[in-house]
A and B are shown apart, each in its own frame.
Chain A
């Protein structure tokens, strides 16, 4: 891979690819008891320039794949709208902390989503993805009633659900966690909490494009 890393445009593209992969991994809020739901972040559009830039550069054989295709591919394979998510808060501690990266799987090949699985779900009419463990399941099939709870929370999630919603159904779940990488997602959190970093990155990128001679 070192051979492909000979000019700064590719460095920039690589860094942006990295940022893009992590930024499209949208944030999962794990609500600690008593806290309000933090907003989710969407800044794919900011990085779309980097994406097209990379697409026009097929010679780039760095260790990161073109992110858009990779993202779509992962999404199709796992059948999840967001196959990689970043953890935002600590209700699943000590297992998952802020900035950890979770990989989701949303197909029921061998068995149904069952008690004990750690799932990411969206509350009805709210766009706040939450990662918690399924602790109760009544019935089978897509209308089975599921109740979730954070390992680090004292109470279950009934309070977090929408008004009149006592249980989740399978369609509320966007994936079960099957793999885990620590820390890596912190880049995403940094970028979203300190928006000037994005400006700086784009600035450097633009400067390099201007200064670079082919």
Chain B
């Protein structure tokens, strides 16, 4: 009865059970923390240029380059179970659908990420894909802290977009009612992935306060601007 196999079996079984129960508690603890995210975003400079999807392409497309300024307070998202927060800014607009097949949907919604950023928690800095100097600086900024809510405070002035966007038709100039929106995705050490709520609160997690820019219209194609590179 009490041979070594049984003992190994008991130890292994007990270990897995304890590990899963602890993991479940850690995952559940997310719901006990308040989340009070807020953000403001506005465009500072919007251009549309002609470009090619890649170097060898002969196709000409219009690309929108939307510079923006934003201030975000996502500090409440950083808890002991936060591995990283992925922040991203999307541009949203509707375009009239051209095909008769989808006549029911008179307008098609579009959304595209124009900028994103990975904010690691101090506990996951070593996993970030950054150079040694940057890593040292990042480590120093949160020396001695396991959780650093300050990293959730973002302030960008006249930020260039990381991605220059177009529409599958290749035409995007003079699009009306474009809005920028800030989103986040909290990725935990263990448990559920969570995204920003835009409409309703969920328990202690409040929806994103503001975080949507005013509607704006894209300008006409800027002439004689071949220097701009196509999509990143």
Contact = CB atoms under 8 A, between A and B. Distances in A.
Are A and B physically bound partners? yes
Interface of A: 1-2, 5-8, 10-11, 14-15, 18, 62-63, 93-95, 97, 114-118, 133, 135-141, 143, 145, 147, 151-152, 154-156, 166-167, 177-182
A11 B9 contact: yes
B90 interface: yes
10 closest residue pairs by CB, A with B: A94-B127, A11-B9, A136-B112, A135-B113, A95-B187, A139-B108, A8-B5, A138-B110, A115-B111, A179-B192
A116 B183 contact: yes
B193 A118 contact: yes
A180 B26 CA distance: 12
B109 A140 contact: yes
Given A140-B105, A141-B102, A2 B13 contact: yes
Contacts of A63: 13, 16-17, 20
B13 to A, nearest CB: 5
B191 A137 contact: no
A63 B110 CA distance: 46
B118 A94 contact: yes
Interface in B205-232: 231-232
A147 B231 CA distance: 13
B152 interface: no
A205 B17 CA distance: 23
Interface in B93-135: 97, 102, 105, 108-113, 116, 118, 120, 124, 127-129
Contact of A181 (B12, B23, B124, B185): B23
A7 B163 CA distance: 59
B193 A178 contact: yes
Contact of B13 (A62, A151, A167): A62
A133 B193 CA distance: 13
A138 B16 CA distance: 44
A147 B65 CA distance: 18
A117 to B, nearest CB: 8
Interface in B165-180: 165, 167-168
Given A1-B13, A14-B13, A137-B110, 10 more contacts: A1-B17, A2-B10, A2-B14, A6-B1, A6-B6, A63-B20, A136-B112, A139-B108, A156-B231, A182-B190
